[in-house]
Chain A
Amino acid sequence: MQTKIILFGQIIDIAGQKELTLEDVLDTDELVMILHEKYPLLKNLEYRIAVNKDIILNNTSLDDQSTVALLPPFSGG
Chain B
Amino acid sequence: MAERKPKNIFVQGPVSPQKIADSIKKHSEQTNIGAHSIFLGQVRDDLIGEKKVSAIEYTSYEDMALEKMHEIRESIFAKYELTCMHVHHSLGIVKAGGISLFVFTSSAHRKAATAACSELVERIKSELPVWGKEIFEDESYQWKQNQ
Contact = CB atoms under 8 A, between A and B. Distances in A.
Interface of A: 6, 8-10, 50, 53, 69, 71-77
B64, B128, B130, B144, most chain A CB atoms within 10 A: B64
A10 B142 CA distance: 9
B121 interface: yes
B101 interface: yes
B58 interface: yes
B77 interface: no
Given A76-B130, A76-B131, A10 B125 contact: no
B80 interface: no
A39 to B, nearest CB: 16
B61 A8 contact: yes
Given A76-B101, A77-B89, A10 B124 contact: no
16 contacts: A8-B61, A8-B131, A9-B59, A10-B131, A10-B143, A50-B61, A69-B129, A73-B145, A74-B146, A75-B131, A75-B143, A75-B146, A76-B101, A77-B121, A77-B124, A77-B146
Interface string B40-81: 010000000000000000111101100100000000000000
Contacts of A77: 41, 89, 100-101, 121, 124-125, 130, 132, 146
